[in-house]
Amino acid sequence: MDRFDVIIVGAGPAGLCAAMYAGRGMLNAVVLERGIPGGELLNTEKIEDYPGFESILGPELATRMTDHAKKFGADIRMENVEGIHPQPGGGFRVTTSSGAEFEAPTVILTAGGTPTKLGVPGEAEYAGRGVSYCAVCDGAFFKGEQIAVIGGGDAAVEEADYLTRYASKVTIVHRRDAFRASKVVQERALRNPKIEVLWNKKVLEMVGDPTGLKRLDLEDTVTGARSELAATGAFVFIGFTPNSGLVKAHINHDPSGYLLTDDRMMTSIPGLFAAGDLRVQLTRQVTTAVGDATTAAIAVEKYLTELKSRAAV
Catalytic site residues?
134, 137-138
Query: Which residue from 263, 234, 273 is spatially nearest to 17, judged by alpha carbons?
Result: 273
Residues in the chain: 313
Q: Where are the alpha helices (DSSP H) in the chain?
A: 13-24, 58-71, 135-138, 154-163, 183-190, 286-312
Angle between helices 58-71 and 13-24 (to 10 degrees): 20
Q: Which helix (H) or strand (E) holds 274?
A: strand 272-274
Q: How far is residue 285's CA from residue 270's CA, in Å, rounded to a whole number? A: 26
Q: How far is residue 272's CA from residue 111's CA, in Å, rounded to a whole number? A: 13
113-118, long-range: CB < 8 A, 24+ apart? 113/240, 113/241, 113/242, 113/243, 113/277, 113/278, 114/240, 114/241, 114/243, 115/236, 115/239, 115/240, 116/236, 116/238, 116/239, 116/240, 116/241, 117/236, 118/150, 118/203, 118/236, 118/238
